[in-house]
Amino acid sequence: MDQKAANTDLALRTRATRVIPGGMWGHQNAARLPKGYPQYFSRAEGCRTWDADGREYIDFICGWGPTILGYNDVDVEAAAADQRARGDAMNGPSERLVELAELLVETVPHADWAMFSKNGTDATTACVTIARAGTGRRKVLVARGAYHGAIPWCTPSVAGVTEEDRAHLIQYDYNDAASLEAAVDQAGNDLAAILVSAFKHDLGKEHALPTRAFATRARALADLTGAALIVDDVRAGFRLHMGGSWELVGVRPDLAAWSKAIANGYALAAVTGNDRFREAATKIFTTGSFWTAAVSMAAAVATIEKLKKTGGIDTMVAMGQRLRDGIDRQASRHGLAVRQSGPVQMPVILFDDDADRRLGNAFCLELLARGVYMHPTHTMFLCAAHTVADIDQTLAASDEALATVARL
């Protein structure tokens, strides 16, 4: 087999079947997507990506969130390259650590301090551990169906998970203050934390921003009980509000978990917290071999500064609104009941009466064939590199895709 033939999507999948269990693992496993999605990617630039077979797409997954300024952003890459020439994973942090922590404290109103790691799961796990260390209590409230990471206490799978891994979790329903109150009651005097997603973004379900009533009640219940209010901003962070997603509803958490978009694709996560939990944060032991690696921190400083300077969120909102309005118009013209939900810059597009995903999957496959990469059930992501021309090209594709769906 020549080199080119060995690197087609099909050839790579075949090779992978031998050396990777099931051919792929985790959220990027294309076997979880309708047949027709590529598994392997060869290139990415701006808001565009190319699969292993060389097909180009306008990308609305953006690496599943990390890409917020666009792939290969010139300013982020320059900052990263400059730091790389000096050093990355060294015996201790570089000054980039202090700059980044200062920048987060300056940018995020609830943050008196910050700590860093590599995965969103690292950050959510540290938040829960800090809350337990600070309160001396154990119970953690989580919304039914919410995703907070992929180790035994939080992974959506039950394989390899023991009952004890989740012994102190109590469930409530997002945006349902009464169910949250019931969960608080159930925790009694053992309540360590109320953990909330930035917004309701459960897989395959309609998305919803937090209501002001729910968010305010969550804050009040945490205050009343002395528990920590933790916002999991891993998926949404820096896309809804530079100061943290719950700034939109005027509520500040005690602790927040960040990752994905923080460094425009460089592996980094963060915990921010207020002074109430500063001492608790010094007591836990959480660390990793690459957690102070300086290149990812230089990239994060550049990403956050550029988002602020260029109004990146405004761009994503404008482009997201243009996409949503366009698809709404097209759907109604084609007589299709399409529910677009979530913030416009992090949409999910679902079809009515589509329990088997026949319509949603067909829509996405028609888009793929026309050079647009969307996802049928997961939160999607716009980035600041999406332009009016990209959205209009997408809408030209979606009009044809919806026409096809309407004939199904």
Kindly identify the residues of this chain, within the stretch 66-105, that bind a copy of itself according to CB under 8 A.
66-67, 71-72, 77, 84-95, 97-98, 101-102, 104-105
The CB-based long-range contact list for 321-329 (8 Å cut-off, 24+ gap) reads: 322/388, 322/391, 322/392, 323/347, 323/382, 323/391, 323/394, 323/395, 326/391, 326/392, 326/395, 326/398, 327/395, 327/398, 327/402
Q: Which is nearer to a copy of itself, 198 or 234 (CB)?
A: 234
Binding residue for a copy of itself, selected from 75, 107, 109, 155, defined by CB under 8 A: 155
Phi/psi region, residue 262 (left: phi>0; alpha: psi -120 to 50; beta: rest), is: alpha
User: How many helices (H) and strands (E) would you count in the chain?
Assistant: 12, 13
Query: Smallest distance, Å, CB 289 to a copy of itself?
Result: 5
Binding residue for a copy of itself, selected from 10, 28, 206, 337, defined by CB under 8 A: 28
Residue 259: which residues within 8 A CB-CB, separation 6 or more?
A: 119, 120, 122, 123, 234, 237, 268, 269, 270
- CA 113/CA 349 separation, integer angstroms: 37
Q: Which is nearer to a copy of itself, 21 or 335 (CB)?
A: 21
Using the 8-state DSSP alphabet, how is residue 211 labeled? P
Q: What mask, x for binding a copy of itself by CB under 8 A, covers residues 203 to 242? A: -------------------------------x--------
Q: Which is nearer to a copy of itself, 202 or 354 (CB)?
A: 202
Q: How far is CA 285 from CA 134, 268, 281, in A?
A: 13, 18, 9
Q: How many residues bind a copy of itself (CB under 8 A)?
A: 112
Query: Angle of helix 177-187 relative to helix 212-225, nearest 10 degrees?
Result: 20
- 22 near a copy of itself (CB under 8 A): yes
- 118 near a copy of itself (CB under 8 A): yes
- Contacts of a copy of itself in 174-193 (CB under 8 A): none
- CA 317/CA 386 separation, integer angstroms: 11
- CA 14/CA 3 separation, integer angstroms: 14
Q: Which is nearer to a copy of itself, 44 or 248 (CB)?
A: 44
DSSP H or E segment with residue 336: none
Binding residue for a copy of itself, selected from 69, 130, 307, 364, defined by CB under 8 A: 130
Q: Which is nearer to a copy of itself, 13 or 217 (CB)?
A: 13
Binding residue for a copy of itself, selected from 107, 161, 357, 396, defined by CB under 8 A: 161
Q: Which stretch binds a copy of itself (CB under 8 A): 19-27, 245-253, 324-332, 346-354?
A: 19-27
DSSP H or E segment with residue 373: strand 372-373
- Contacts of a copy of itself in 131-150 (CB under 8 A): 131-134, 138, 150
Query: Smallest distance, Å, CB 124 to a copy of itself?
Result: 11
Q: Which is nearer to a copy of itself, 39 or 175 (CB)?
A: 39
Binding residue for a copy of itself, selected from 291, 297, 336, 359, defined by CB under 8 A: 291
At 333 the three-state DSSP class reads: helix
